[in-house]
Amino acid sequence: MQVYVDASPVADERVADGTVADALRQVQSAYCAPGRMVVRVRCDGHDVLSDAMESTLQRRAASVARLEVFTATRTALIMDAMKQASNSLQGTEDACRRVAEMLTEGKVREAMETLGDCLRAWQQIHLAVTKSIAMLQLDVERMTLQDQPLVELLARPKEVLLQVRDALSNQDHVLLADLLQYEFSDVTDQWYALIARVREEAEGQSPA
């Protein structure tokens, strides 16, 4: 079994013992520098995606000819996630306006297709922000932003998304257009503020 950590070969017979999960634990403890974590795994030239991760971890390590492990610092991981979240958010701002315009013009089918893309992006943004906050171990009940507890700012996008869901269920396209034009403007501003705060906290916790 060939093992590589950040493109550097590792010679350790113990890595081949047990499961792939055992191998990754061995690699993490013995070959990852302090403060770095495994962020990507490749088996026999193929990236292990999230939907296949659980089954891959249960495989016998000896069944994998080449195991490649990629690591990153927590700060780098969070900063990259926030950059992607910010880019996605920028992309949905214009899309939101287009959806509202299409609904007003009666182009419901086209509007729903674009809205579906927006909803998936918003879910990913929210997940990235909440996961990053958890990684930083921030106390969302005690910390404030814009004179509001973080927990309230995190809840606001979810509330508006529920309103969007209800408008969709009721086929209330007038309400849906209003939500996208007005309510999501505030939500977008809050998300940008949250992303900036997460970046600030990540940089503050980064080792000197």
Same-domain check for residues 200 and 150: yes
Same-domain check for residues 59 and 84: no
Last residue of a domain, which of 21, 41, 64?
Answer: 64
> For residue 196, what pLDDT is reported?
93
Same-domain check for residues 57 and 89: no
Residue 69 lies in a domain: no
Residues 78 and 181 sit within 8 Å (Cβ to Cβ): no
Write out the residue range of the structural domain in which residue 181 sits.
Answer: 76-205
171: how many CB neighbours lie within 10 A of its CB?
A: 9
| Overall average pLDDT of the 23-29 stretch | 89
Average pLDDT, the chain: 88
Same-domain check for residues 116 and 193: yes
Number of domains in the chain: 2
In tens, the pLDDT along 61-97 reads 999 999 999 999 889 999 999 999 999 999 888 888 8
Same-domain check for residues 25 and 113: no
Cα 144 versus chain centre, distance: 22
Same-domain check for residues 102 and 42: no
Residue 70 lies in a domain: no
71: how many CB neighbours lie within 10 A of its CB?
A: 19
d(CA 16, CA 14): 5
- Whether 207 has a pLDDT exceeding 70, the answer reads no
- Whether 208 has a pLDDT exceeding 80, the answer reads no
Residue 28 lies in a domain: yes
Residue 31 lies in a domain: yes
Using 50, 70 and 90 to split pLDDT, how confident is the model at 17?
Answer: confident
Which whole-number Å values give the CA distances from 19 to 4, 43, 50, 63, in the listed order? 17, 13, 17, 9
Tokens of 65: 């000819």
Same-domain check for residues 103 and 157: yes
> For residue 40, what pLDDT is reported?
92
Same-domain check for residues 151 and 125: yes
Same-domain check for residues 82 and 163: yes
**What percentage of residues in the chain have a pLDDT greater than 70?**
99
> For residue 155, what pLDDT is reported?
85
> For residue 59, what pLDDT is reported?
92
Residues 6 or more apart whose Cβ sits within 8 Å of residue 53: 41
Residue 25 lies in a domain: yes
Same-domain check for residues 105 and 186: yes
Percent helix, strand, coil in the chain, to 5, is 65, 15, 20
Same-domain check for residues 98 and 190: yes
Same-domain check for residues 187 and 156: yes
Tell me the CATH number at 165: 1.20.120
